Amino acid sequence: MTDTRHPTSSGASTPSLSTQLLATARCVRAVEQGRSLSDVLPEVAAPLRPGVQALTFHVLRHLGTARAVVASLAPRKPQPAVHALLCSAVALLLDEGDERGAAGSAGARVPQYAAHTVVDQTVNAAREERGTARQAGFVNACLRRFLRERTPLLASLADDPVARWNHPRWWIERLQRDHPAQWQAILEASNQPGPMTLRVNRRHSSREAYRQALQDIGLASTPVGSDGLVLDAPQPVERLPGFAQGHCSVQDAAAQMAAGLLLEGREEARIHRVLDACAAPGGKTAHLLESADLDLLALDVDARRCARIQDTLARLGLRAEVRCADAARPEAWWDGRLFDAILLDTPCTASGIVRRHPDVRWLRRESDVAALAATQRALLDTLWPLLRPGGRLLYATCSVFRAEGSAQVQAFLEHHTDARVRPSVGHLLPGSASAAGQFNDNHPGGYDGFFYARIDKAGP
């Protein structure tokens, strides 16, 4: 038996791989049952959580291949707990050395384990899981067969798009229709971990001063956008200078564009009263307030998420009115005063941020796209009358699907003769540049997938 524990700097031992694999398989199974990792990971014991998060992210980025391999090894699908454990082990055994060792959002890494160690520890995990001990021999046989037949077995999956791209078939087909020249690049980027990008709070420090503070503790970074720094390697936020005091926040470069797009030419346009209609967890709200003195109302329909907005603002030393309310029902929260600007970062499929949330691809269903597009359309129609003539609305989604982006805005323009679209980002594709090529600074890891359209209301 291989002991995979190793001492930490404090002298304690990290959990064995079998223990981590067992927890990882439970997380994978929960996702397959329809639960979000955002809900599942907090249930993992704190000492296990960083390693299990990194392992689970790795497995979900390879789940299409892993499922196909397990189906070949076991034509009769094993019970769910065994199936999840086998998929987790196969994902670690796949020859993906370029990603191995990549860090998760908390800085945890997926080590390079020897194949025999993965097999040994997976068998141990099967023995430890309730109801699967009798399947340990079956698990051992499947994994050893995969090691013997890896090359021909993987070759046999070459024509399976789900195994090749590790996304649902409907998702792949939609990208092929929406982005015929870029769909492969989008899928490739979505299977890689996103970089850790910081937003420097300009009310506390300049970006260059904060970059130097990072350099002073050995952390290299690259500027992006107006306030961003991309770290060369992810770090626990506790290591970032002044994080607890609000000197910076973690926010992808694509999300950081919202404040600048909404506030461009603010003085001339008389932008002061602002609505952030779907504000949680508060990153864009905070960036707006870091950028300008505003009378800002932040809404979210979930009380727990509103608490997160408050926590975010408190850490950064910012103030706004935060209300738990449904943006689609203004009669419950609107005081009748028109807004100068509205940020509508609307609920969407999150198809542009799967490199940071790899569970999303397996949780979404094809029918979700139309349902969410209907919600987006309703929010646009409801909030537009709350904007003063001469004001502006920034429509944003973290989606790469055209039904939630360009098609949505085009339909809105056809029904609102007082609306004008300003030149803006449009579809920003993950990992590189937008579909039209507007952004080519090529910072490490590129952007998350987003869509932005600034819509101005005709003046009096």
Active-site positions read: 398
Exposed, middle or buried: residue 291 (CB in 10 Å: 0-12, 13-18, 19+)? middle
Q: Phi/psi at 219 (nearest 5 deg)?
A: -110, 115
Q: Phi/psi at 380 (nearest 5 deg)?
A: -60, -50
Half-sphere exposure of 412 (CA within 13 A, CB side): 30
Helix (H/G/I), strand (E/B), else coil: 422? strand
Cβ-based neighbours of 433, under 8 Å, separated by 6 or more: 439, 440, 442, 446, 447
Exposed, middle or buried: residue 436 (CB in 10 Å: 0-12, 13-18, 19+)? exposed
Closest CA to 52 of 102, 1, 6, 15: 15
Give the torsion sign (CA, 420, 425, 429, 434).
Answer: positive
Give the torsion sign (CA, 94, 97, 99, 103).
Answer: positive
Q: How far are the Cα atoms of 3, 4, 11, 41, 121 from residue 14, in angstroms, in the given order?
A: 11, 9, 10, 18, 14
- Which 3-state string (H, E, C) describes 170-225? HHHHHHHHHCCCCHHHHHHHHCCCCCCEEEECCCCCCHHHHHHHHHHCCCCEEEEC
Closest CA to 303 of 324, 322, 287: 324
